[in-house]
Amino acid sequence: MKLSLGPNLFYWPRQATLDFYAEVATLPFDLVYLGETVCSRRHELRAEDWLDVAVQLAGAGKEVVLSSQALIESESDLKALRRLVDNGRFAVEANEMGAVRILAEKKLPFVAGMSLNVFNAHTLGLLADMGATRWVMPPEAGRETLAGVLAGKPPGVQTEVFAYGRLPLAWSARCFTARRFNLQKDTCEFKCVEFPDGMLVKTREHEEFLVLNGVQTLSAKTYNLLREIPQLAAAGVDIVRLSPQWQGLADVAGAFRRALDGEAAQLAGDYCNGFWHGKPGLELVENT
């Protein structure tokens, strides 16, 4: 199995982002997904900056994929999407059906992203006919859904599973980070940049529950399928995806690399893995 790094869902300062990907070039990832998938207002890196990073990572031997924005609202969002598709070099991960339409029209191969909601083999087959060469399982799906899809998977399509990181749980048109500071989305002052792993949401009993990341809501707990790597391999997964975090990615990547190579690997933290086991996502199933 290969190891991939998903698109950074959070918003980091420009230099920090560039430094992060300079480090990623040295980490044991086979593939890296790049680009802003959450909010079109974020601009620390422009489209051409992302392409520069892509070129550098490709030069370091990584397979690079450019990820499209998951929620398209405006005409300018569509313009950005068309530019992404026309980048002329890198494959695109389609995160909504508008991107699929544009990619399929141009007969470009693409990655069917996790927000396309592929839950059955029939749907994957249709996307493969349109040019999908890989699909990313929705994080809320688990091993049973995966087995079902793979039982009828078209030949030549790769399977990628979100295996580490705060779980992307929901998208909205509303910016919850701006809301916290009584700002409107259109004049949000880019508050997201102050919360590089999202803004923590606790219950009124002080339990850490979610994080807010602009228009996106994620789990407070980190999803971790490190111990399930043998199950993923047995199920027929081709690529294991980690999600960027502000600190400590090198250790995580190292642990996953070792696990993929069949060596012993451990990570310590407040993890969850319920979705993979068909349980509420926040649960941690201990003995697998």
For another protein, the binding residues in 203-262 under the rule CB under 8 A are: 203-207, 209-210, 212, 217, 219
Q: Which is nearer to another protein, 84 or 253 (CB)?
A: 84
Q: Which residue has the tokens 């839950």?
A: 119
Tell me the β-bridge partners of 65. 33, 91
Name which position in 71, 108, 235, 267 contacts another protein (CB under 8 A): 71
- Cβ 75 to another protein shortest distance, Å: 6
Name which position in 28, 172, 234, 284 contacts another protein (CB under 8 A): 172
Give Cβ neighbours of residue 162 (< 8 Å, ≥ 6 apart). 6, 114, 136, 137, 139, 223, 241, 243
Q: How many Å apart are CA 27 and CA 5, to the nearest integer?
A: 10
Q: Which is nearer to another protein, 19 or 73 (CB)?
A: 73
Q: Which is nearer to another protein, 14 or 174 (CB)?
A: 174
Name which position in 81, 132, 239, 255 contacts another protein (CB under 8 A): 81
Query: In this structure, what token pair is assigned to residue 127?
Result: 């996307």
- Cβ 45 to another protein shortest distance, Å: 23
Alpha helices in 13-74 (DSSP H): 14-24, 47-59
Q: How many Å apart are CA 245 and CA 9, to the nearest integer?
A: 9
Q: Which is nearer to another protein, 21 or 176 (CB)?
A: 176
Name which position in 73, 189, 261, 270 contacts another protein (CB under 8 A): 73
Tell me the β-bridge partners of 271. 222
Residue 180 contacts another protein per CB under 8 A: yes
For 60, what's the count of Cα atoms within 13 Å in the CB-facing half-sphere?
A: 19
- End-to-end alpha carbon distance in the chain: 20
Judged by CB under 8 A, the number of residues near another protein is: 71
Residue 152 contacts another protein per CB under 8 A: yes
Name which position in 7, 35, 138, 165 contacts another protein (CB under 8 A): 138
- Cβ 80 to another protein shortest distance, Å: 12
Name residues contacting another protein, limited to 98-127 (CB under 8 A): 98-102, 115, 117, 119-123, 125-127
The DSSP call for residue 133 is E
3-state class (DSSP) for residue 142: coil
- Cβ 174 to another protein shortest distance, Å: 5
Helix (H) or strand (E) segment spanning residue 223: strand 216-224
- Cβ 209 to another protein shortest distance, Å: 7
Residue 175 contacts another protein per CB under 8 A: yes
Name which position in 70, 132, 226, 232 contacts another protein (CB under 8 A): 70
Amino acid at 261: D
Q: Which is it for the CA torsion 252, 253, 259, 263, positive or negative? A: negative
Q: How many Å apart are CA 200 and CA 25, to the nearest integer?
A: 29
Q: Which is nearer to another protein, 29 or 162 (CB)?
A: 162
Strands 110-112 and 132-136, bridge-based pairing: parallel
